[in-house]
Structure 1
């Protein structure tokens, strides 16, 4: 078994970079397992909402990068 195995990881990995032009930029990442019937857009909105809760100053930031891929090799 790989030393990098983590049973708590979700089935998808995501990365999002947001920017408040001229003020701040932030990159976040994680993993999740979407519910049945969830779409990529649903996950995008959930991640963006989570970002707004954690960093209210970034709630209206521009998304400059978003990746959402299967968490397998």
Structure 2
């Protein structure tokens, strides 16, 4: 017997960007932060362009980190 609300397929995962990134910023002796997310760069985007866009995205939410030193940055294809 099947119930009228039985789910027969797996749920669809949320849409993600084509690349996964991790960025760590530090204000020496004062603060540090690491954030991550996904990003789909426009066609023709260089790694440097992507870094600048992601850093700007992070510092827009954390303006105190605008002058921070980049301690770590990774950008890789978002696939297993």
What TM-score do you get using the length of structure 1 for normalisation? 0.89
Indicate which of 62, 69, 80 corresponds to 1:62: 69
Deviations 1:11-61 (A, max 9, x none): 100000000000000000000110010011001000111122110100010
Cα RMSD, aligned residues only:
1.8
5+ long unaligned stretches in structure 1: none
In the aligned structure 2, how far is the partner of 1:40 from the partner of 1:15?
A: 13
Indicate which of 43, 46, 66 corresponds to 1:39: 46
Partner of 2:21: 14
How many residue pairs match? The answer is 72
What TM-score do you get using the length of structure 2 for normalisation? 0.82
Report how far residue 2 of structure 1 moved. 7.9
5+ long unaligned stretches in structure 2: 1-8
